[in-house]
Structure 1
Amino acid sequence: MTNCSNNQDELFRKRPAAVQLFSDYRQDSHPKSRRCDIDLLRFVAVTAVVLFHFEAPGFSGGFLGVDMFFVISGYLITSHIRSEIRNERFKLSSFFLKRIRRLYPALLFTLFATAVVVLFVFPPNLISDFALSLIFSSVYLSNIHFWSGADYFDFESIYKPLLHTWSLSVEEQFYLIWPLFLMLISLRLHARAIVLVGLLSLGLGLVPAFSSSTTFFQFPFRIYEFSIGALLTSAALSSRLVHYRAFVLPVSFLLVGVSLFFSSELDPNPSWGTLAVCLGTAGIISASHPLLQKDTIITAPMLRIGLISYSIYLAHWPLVVVYKTYFPGDISAIGILALILATVIIAEFMYRCIEQPASRISLETGSKALVGMVAGLFIFGLAFQFTHQRIYSTIHHNRGLVAEILDKIPARRDVVQIAESEISQISWPDYNGEKKNILILGDSHAYDVFAALRYSLSPKKYNLTLLSGNSACDPLSSGSINISLDALYENHTNPEATAQKCLDFHQSFLDHVTAQNPDFIVFSEAWRKVSLEFLQATIEELQSVTNAEIVVLGRVPQWVGTPETVFRDFNSVEQLNDSAWSLRHPYFDGIDERLQEIAQETGVTFVLKREVVCPNFKCAVIVGNDLLYSDSQHFSPAGMKYYGERLRDHPSMRSIIEP
């Protein structure tokens, strides 16, 4: 058993060949400049993140590994800056050049390699989205980019190969601001100032006015995590924690373990999980326990993973995206193992061939090259933005009809604009009879039906209104919900669906409905099993306050991935439509049966959307040259028009609504 800083070569020479891959842990780094305990923390952090993204069971809070990295960075960067300031050696230019030398080369390789891969595996609309994220990632602003698109209609995260760079952007923003902050304040006041900004950041994250996506992606709401690490540079605090490390260390391990294994990705920031993992990480760093400073044959692989953790983090998420593109659905055990192996191999290559050579660039003679690397990466992002369509057409010049149709799918965020424009141009015959009011209730699926019926029903005969809260709240009255709103929205996948944001909607639900004086009420919702149980009570309350005919629509068939990825290998439209039903997501099986039971028990009309989209289990996904879905579960404008006519003509709808 050997200390990390001493006599490494002799120990490594005695190791068996099976662990030789890890034997250059200290040979590849500066023996006296690295701490084993921090590299072990890096190992835990990156392993947690990777296994979480690889869908390994048991790592529900693995995403908090990112928060561990923030604490580590806060400690190391603050320690370095304070030491340099104390010795009157600190220069902003040198600090920034070191950060560029450390971070940019591996990032450049990752962005370039990912750009090449997506040209071969992604359809045009996903490449366009990637191209924009590439520009923002190249200048460490991807957290702002992904925050601005963090809404229900955005692409699913699994088709964002650079989504993981949001945390790198947050770190880089910390590197830009933190040195200036520390330089402006006297050394003896650093600890107080760090506590103050940390508490302000933490308090800011608790303000209800900020959305969960804002507190997740934006740097000001993450400062408290860096501050927790930065506080460890206070000599008074550090010595006190070391004195009690026999108590601090086990408690810290417990905090980290509980948060990584029991947190949920739907928890807000800050949450008990983020605070626990940050305090636990800080406790382990502060303890600096001798047992964690030992480099043994058991810890060597962990230390190696910690050493190459940056490259592992960069490589793992694009690999998941490529894997999911070809194998939609849950990742199998074999898939997890394959992804782990591929990630480690690529990261090892990046560390040896990119990170290490770059670390030897002289700051004096190589400063222009480093600055040029930054500019070059941004120029590459711009060039890709303006040329990717031409490059894609050159690579995929001879594609089949199905592929060509899939290539033309509009982005979901453009669907509403296209649909509204087309609907406004429809000419309807005159009608002098009484106009009926149709109220559509639900989420984004309610908008699909709202638009579909406006394509197929004359506005001169029917006044259609959409009531969907913030497009995330369940269409339920507060009196029908017999659990807390926190429990109702605990596992909701939309970050905008929270108890706080939906409280007013539920409390005023009946008032909003009756204010519309509806003749018909139509429920169209991506029903979750937890909210489905309160629909019957909501319908009964509606029946007590209105005489409107109530229609409950079943759930739309949802595919296991986006159409561009799920249907990419079909050679003919007929083959695709015949096979589509087998590619639906199995999670939602059984929901239609429960909806039908509720409709029967309350005496309302039930319409099975599956009979509209997939009659006799043969789906209409492509009709003519039009794709009728815009993503895994929403209609395209062509789909709204086509399914709207089918919905209008469905026997159950025709019995209550005349065209």
Structure 2
Amino acid sequence: MPPSPAKSHSLAHPTYRPDIDGLRAIAVLSVIVFHASPRWLPGGFVGVDIFFVISGFLISTIMFGSLGAAGFSYAEFYARRIRRIFPGLVLVLAATLAFGWWVLLADEFRQLGKHVLASAAFVANLVLWGEAGYFDTVVETKPLLHLWSLAVEEQFYIFWPLLLTLAWKRQHLLRWMGVAVVLSFLLNVGLVLRHPDAAFYMPLTRVWELGAGAMLAWVAWKRGAGAPALPGHQWMGAAGLACIAAGLAFIDRHEAFPGFWALLPVLGACLCIAAGPQAWFNRRLLGSRLFVWFGLISYPLYLWHWPLLAYARVLQDGFMDPPRAVRWGALAVSVLLAWLTFRFVERPLRHGGRRVVAGLAGAMVLLALVGAAAQMRWLGPRNDDPSIQAIMNASADWVYPDALKPFTFEGQRFERIDGGPRQVLLIGDSHVEQFRARALALAERRPQDVSTLLFATRGACPPIPDLIEDRDPICGERLAAALDLARTPAVQAVVIGGCWSCYFDVSQAPAAASAPPPPDHYYYRDAQGQRHMLRGGDGVPQSMAALGRLLAELRAMGKTTYLLLNIPVGPDFEPRSRLTGNRLQAMTAAPVTPMAPLPPSQAALHAQLRQLALDNGAIPLDPMAGLCRPDGLCVRADATGDPVYKDATHLRAAYAREAATFLDPALLAPAR
């Protein structure tokens, strides 16, 4: 039975283990190499999971030592966390915000302010989870994206000491830790396929990783500091490194992660720690000077590396990777900044007293206030030209699924607008979602006429059976549920739409990062399971035939069936292409003519889709009737010069709300 805590309270100081610093080095080097070049180390992101295990082990070791001796002091515990975490974090947040003020545009700086506020409050994981989605800003250009993991750790540090203290008094510590670990792991596995963003960012789905380290700390504490090495400790170290190496080699960002895959790095880290400092691999490799040095600077290195890489991408317009030399140069600079931060900021403040703690806490509050001012637009960036702001407004003008009510069918979460008894199901990708603004306008202006509208959509998921998007496993099951809903008697009409040019116009790649993935990521899978690629294969005619069969099937069931045709897409319609100048110096937005030519391949595809609809009993809904003139020129800006597009492939909500009248026959109840 654990000894009773004494009345005086302090924190225990665990014995220093150089091999754990070496394990930190593996974790941080894996992460930064992955971020610089994922092809070199496809599973490098699992370094974060190694960090979680280490943190759970060390924090719990401190707690067990304190609870078993003089007692646990919450005040001292959180003061120590502030002295450990805040110095480097305050410096990096301030530098990131200052550089962002210089180079970012209005919407980007506003988002940075939001992320500074979230990071200072240690809720960045929850904010990023809320932002995740098809039209989220390119993640590689979010300078504070990596701080989600720090937020998870700090949230763990809030409730874990409470759990351990309560369980300690009842002497069932290991049991309660085991329950928390098992429940967290099951939640992680249950969410990772259907709600991958939640599984990735939620603290509850990561507790099992930190808890695994905590249970390891319990075993080590019960055995005592002078206990002999565990039997087989030599092979434990080797097996642990092998598990970590397997995770780095065989896990990639396309896997359902964390899920079961996270067992590899978590088990590997646990085995390495359990092996002890005297195991050969731990002593000779993890405990070597080089690994220990990188371990000592691992925290500031983690803090610095991502803002440098993100800003390098921002300066490349955010849609492409910087040259390899720039990326690796950014890592070299981050190593230098990490050492300087460790040597001249962290170490001098780590053992400071109450004034240091108060000063660090005050600095964090000040940063949070500045971030809030940026988010509220009270503080603007240097590049705040009105012409640039007009483009930024267009780029941010996306409202799906605002004001839609969620509902669930066959385990899939869809959205609806309630109206009359006629139910219209809209199936497709973001090219259906872009017309939510028109649907809501009709519901507001003509509530007595609008049908009940059901949106069964997902960005970049083609609405054609057996047309596979190999990077998103949810597409297939979501479309299957949508089609089952379409076949129910409650649905009288079905609208099918998509970015047909993105899928079928294989003569050119998408024009911008905001477009769906290029056709290389799509293939048609026939009844024998054979793949027919859209680009470089016969996947396009196979997919078009499948679309025709789907339209005919729905029509044969008595459904009024509509095929939503394509809109013009391409670089000529991208508002950001009007930006000129240099972010490091000055930027302006160049004026453009209000019209741009429709690419001939898109005109041909438009005609082919129209005929496909007519041949299979569907009614074509034609956006180009209002967007394009007979001479082949199409609208890209209104009379005042403001863009009508959000990006290269989507209309902005303000334009769709007023101009997408071609949809009205499908959305309104038929005239009596």
Q: In which range does the TM-score fall when normalised by the shorter chain?
A: 0.7 to 0.9
Alignment-derived partner of residue 128 in structure 1: 110
Alignment-derived partner of residue 5 in structure 2: none
Q: Does 1:242 align with 2:233?
A: no
For residue 179 of structure 2, the aligned residue among 196, 219, 233 is 196
Preserved contact between residue 441 and residue 524 of structure 1 (Cα < 8 Å): no
Alignment-derived partner of residue 303 in structure 1: 292
What is the SS of the residue equivalent to 1:176?
helix
Alignment-derived partner of residue 291 in structure 1: 280
Deviation at 1:501, TM superposition (A): 5.6
Preserved contact between residue 432 and residue 457 of structure 2 (Cα < 8 Å): no
Preserved contact between residue 232 and residue 286 of structure 1 (Cα < 8 Å): yes
Q: Which of the two has greater strand per residue?
A: 2
CA gap of 1:606–1:504, structure 2 versus 1, over 3 A, is closer
Q: Does 1:177 align with 2:159?
A: yes
Preserved contact between residue 398 and residue 434 of structure 2 (Cα < 8 Å): no
**Whole-angstrom distance in 2 between the partners of 1:325 and 1:541:** 42
Alignment-derived partner of residue 195 in structure 2: 211
**Amino acid aligned to 1:120:** W
Q: Does 1:275 align with 2:266?
A: no
Q: Does 1:254 align with 2:242?
A: yes
Alignment-derived partner of residue 204 in structure 2: 220
Residues 387-409 of structure 1, C-alpha deviations (whole Å, 9 max, x = no match): 6745426x346x4x642423444
Alignment-derived partner of residue 546 in structure 1: 555
Preserved contact between residue 405 and residue 626 of structure 1 (Cα < 8 Å): yes
Preserved contact between residue 53 and residue 213 of structure 2 (Cα < 8 Å): yes
Deviation at 1:85, TM superposition (A): 1.9
What is the SS of the residue equivalent to 2:167?
coil
Alignment-derived partner of residue 371 in structure 1: 358
CA gap of 1:56–1:201, structure 2 versus 1, over 3 A, is closer
Alignment-derived partner of residue 216 in structure 2: 232
Deviation at 1:303, TM superposition (A): 2.7
**Amino acid aligned to 1:334:** A
| Equivalent residues, number | 579
CA gap of 1:217–1:581, structure 2 versus 1, over 3 A, is farther
CA gap of 1:60–1:417, structure 2 versus 1, over 3 A, is same
Q: Does 1:443 align with 2:396?
A: no
What is the SS of the residue equivalent to 2:427?
strand
Preserved contact between residue 36 and residue 303 of structure 1 (Cα < 8 Å): yes
Deviation at 1:555, TM superposition (A): 7.5
For residue 636 of structure 2, the aligned residue among 591, 616, 620 is 620
**Amino acid aligned to 1:226:** L
Deviation at 1:224, TM superposition (A): 0.5
Deviation at 1:354, TM superposition (A): 1.4
**Whole-angstrom distance in 2 between the partners of 1:34 and 1:329:** 43
What is the SS of the residue equivalent to 1:148?
helix
Deviation at 1:438, TM superposition (A): 8.5
Alignment-derived partner of residue 509 in structure 2: none
**Whole-angstrom distance in 2 between the partners of 1:545 and 1:618:** 32
Residues 84-117 of structure 1, C-alpha deviations (whole Å, 9 max, x = no match): 2222253221111111100011111111111111
Deviation at 1:174, TM superposition (A): 1.5
TM-score when normalising by structure 2:
0.72
For residue 60 of structure 1, the aligned residue among 42, 58, 67 is 42
Alignment of 1:13-162 (within 5 A): 34-162=16-144
**Amino acid aligned to 1:411:** A
**Amino acid aligned to 2:327:** I
What is the SS of the residue equivalent to 2:493?
coil
CA gap of 1:554–1:241, structure 2 versus 1, over 3 A, is farther
**Whole-angstrom distance in 1 between the partners of 2:95 and 2:101:** 10
Alignment-derived partner of residue 349 in structure 2: 358
CA gap of 1:159–1:253, structure 2 versus 1, over 3 A, is same
Deviation at 1:455, TM superposition (A): 8.7
For residue 516 of structure 1, the aligned residue among 482, 492, 496 is 492
TM-score when normalising by structure 1:
0.74
Preserved contact between residue 106 and residue 355 of structure 1 (Cα < 8 Å): yes
Residues 552-588 of structure 1, C-alpha deviations (whole Å, 9 max, x = no match): 6448646799955983537553569999999xxxxxx
Preserved contact between residue 64 and residue 277 of structure 1 (Cα < 8 Å): yes
**Whole-angstrom distance in 2 between the partners of 1:281 and 1:64:** 11
CA gap of 1:90–1:626, structure 2 versus 1, over 3 A, is same
Preserved contact between residue 577 and residue 622 of structure 1 (Cα < 8 Å): yes
Alignment-derived partner of residue 416 in structure 2: none
Deviation at 1:82, TM superposition (A): 1.0
Alignment-derived partner of residue 491 in structure 1: 471
* Unaligned residue ranges in structure 2 (runs of 5+): 1-12, 405-421, 504-516, 525-542, 582-586, 664-672
Q: Does 1:567 align with 2:579?
A: yes
What is the SS of the residue equivalent to 1:469?
strand
What is the SS of the residue equivalent to 2:161?
helix
What is the SS of the residue equivalent to 1:392?
coil
**Amino acid aligned to 2:151:** S
**Whole-angstrom distance in 2 between the partners of 1:172 and 1:142:** 11
**Whole-angstrom distance in 2 between the partners of 1:225 and 1:352:** 30
Greater displacement, 230-239 / 593-602: 593-602
CA gap of 1:501–1:637, structure 2 versus 1, over 3 A, is closer
Deviation at 1:316, TM superposition (A): 1.7
Residues 231-255 of structure 1, C-alpha deviations (whole Å, 9 max, x = no match): 2220479989831234333332222
Preserved contact between residue 428 and residue 457 of structure 2 (Cα < 8 Å): no
**Amino acid aligned to 1:446:** V
For residue 336 of structure 1, the aligned residue among 327, 334, 350 is 327
Preserved contact between residue 52 and residue 60 of structure 1 (Cα < 8 Å): yes
**Whole-angstrom distance in 2 between the partners of 1:324 and 1:566:** 19
**Whole-angstrom distance in 1 between the partners of 2:295 and 2:101:** 32
**Whole-angstrom distance in 2 between the partners of 1:41 and 1:573:** 52
CA gap of 1:325–1:578, structure 2 versus 1, over 3 A, is farther
What is the SS of the residue equivalent to 2:204?
helix
RMSD over equivalenced CA pairs, Å: 4.7
**Whole-angstrom distance in 1 between the partners of 2:578 and 2:24:** 36
